[in-house]
Chain A
């Protein structure tokens, strides 16, 4: 278990300073696939480097199984990194790269060789063991970097956008392979990406970061279905934002009045909310298109876009603003609606999410 408590990193002593991490706290469980997701420059790499020991935080604590990591130099932390640039040693062969960590731990030569062979098999690189790292492809380098970091059996593996340099097909393969390695080895994975789809498909939990702070932590479904704030809702998937008035809160349920005057029940923010104007997030595929009468919102169909697997309907709402719906397509069936039609938009109770301000 990794406990990160109130970690702040301020770069630049004299002159202008820059806060790369702002009071970050998170607890990561054993053998969890934990993903840090966020736009470029939000501090993902900095947080990984704090855990690895290459960056000293300005304040805060980092503990692994109760042991204070900040007291240890990088080479004493049971944590290994798969670097974004791989950072393979160019003067060593594939096998020598993989065995490096164990050699530095002064393990007996026989054990090093056995583990290296195991690792080579695990990442399917046995035939390339004697090659120089400059003589293998990008995807193979990536696998060697992975094997090198796994060989010493660290408690925690840090992966900094390890798949970003790979083409689509290889990327999909490696995603599956990473999940397999995580369950086979029992190691905790902390994974950095700015690809939301990758985060959603691979993670046990996701921390969405913005400008040095964690905005929301939760399982992929949590984060997707119930984004806590506008930034998270916007960053992950597509979202409709609706102005509404909060009437009352009862636990996780909130009663809201929409701009159209209709009332419905939605999800309240985790930290509660006061009655008054709020913003509501509704995913395009969670809403349904129907007749204007009796619908939560009414408007005019402005655009229909066919995407193969699904169709997008753009609705200009009566009260101003627009709403996008997404419907899965059935074979050889047209939606039966055309642009200009008056339509209604509805979504079931509990589907909308009140965002924190």
Chain B
């Protein structure tokens, strides 16, 4: 029975839409409103002391990729921006891989504990998540700075005699982001693992699959939805990460988030900042489409 042919169903459906209206209005405004503002700002001219002047211009978008030499007016690629884009994508990919490599065994470990103890383990993973991001980042800083825990320990043990410079490097940013985003990888993988029927793992062993092959041929395909969700949940916020690269990368190792912040702050170039934000959004969308497409193709392959 279709909705259109049945007056009762149609009225029920109309009522439902009516009741949903406030939520829809808020959602539409909250989602598209700011986006619209950013979109408009990206086509305006920067004001002298920040803000924008209502004069249309595509300079903002232009400077995302190109820069004009101050004297000769010669056009060149904005190497600095490009390398920051590249760094951001690279670091986010690495973060996703690191959190997967650590998070997958962790989720497996928890999912294979007795049911009554899993929640306790999960709590241990989630608790850091309730702590302020800045505090967690400073904790990592304390660990890896030159006079920090790790270096002191290594020196005390006589393994090194000069502290290793870890802070303010890509390594520091990676450690920080992997630590901060780890729960986002563990949670969805754990959720799909907990739903997995472990007798399938036994069936794998029973049919001559070694541990490694059970992992590859049975467990991974079954928890793939969790891995995809986890990767998206880690990759997307990593791309826009701001606090962690700022604190652990020192002012030098910028990521996209820092570059954007710079335009709205010291750079006083709001249109460029807005254009960069939209570029980030674009990269994320493309990455997601790519991912969903790849995952979907895999799925179709089996079906």
Contact = CB atoms under 8 A, between A and B. Distances in A.
Nearest to B198: A87
Contacts of B200: 87, 89-90
Given A89-B218, A90-B222, A92-B302, A74 B205 contact: yes
B203 A152 contact: no
Given A87-B203, A92-B302, A132-B303, A101 B197 contact: no
Contacts of A83: 199, 202-203
Nearest to B203: A87
Interface string A71-95: 0011110011101010111111100
A326 interface: no
Nearest to A84: B199
Contact of A75 (B197, B210, B221, B303): B210
Interface string B178-216: 000000000000000000010110111111111001000
A91 B207 contact: no
Mostly, the B contact residues are: helix
A54 B202 contact: yes
Contacts of B204: 100, 104
A148 interface: yes
Contacts of B208: 75-76, 101, 104-105, 152
Contacts of A73: 205
A104 B222 contact: no
Interface string B269-282: 00000000000000
A54 B213 CA distance: 17
Contacts, number: 63
B62 to A, nearest CB: 49
A52 interface: yes
A87 B218 contact: no
Interface residues of B, number: 19
B206 A81 contact: yes
From A76, A89, A92, A101, residue with most partner B Cβ within 10 Å? A89
Nearest to A92: B302
A190 to B, nearest CB: 14
A152 B207 CA distance: 8
A149 B208 CA distance: 11
Interface in A199-234: none
Nearest to A151: B207
Nearest to B218: A89
A75 B199 contact: no
Nearest to A78: B208
Nearest to B209: A104
A186 to B, nearest CB: 20
A85 B199 contact: yes
A75 B208 CA distance: 4
Contacts of A101: 207-208
Interface in A272-290: none
Given A53-B205, A87-B202, 4 more contacts: A73-B205, A89-B218, A91-B221, A149-B207
18 contacts: A54-B202, A74-B205, A75-B207, A81-B203, A83-B202, A85-B199, A87-B197, A87-B199, A89-B203, A100-B217, A101-B207, A101-B208, A104-B208, A104-B209, A104-B210, A104-B213, A132-B303, A152-B208
The 3 A-B residue pairs with the shortest CB-CB distance in the complex, in nearest-first order:
A101-B207, A87-B203, A104-B208
Interface of B: 197, 199-200, 202-210, 213, 217-218, 221-222, 302-303
Interface of A: 52-54, 73-76, 79-81, 83, 85, 87-93, 100-101, 104-105, 132, 148-149, 152
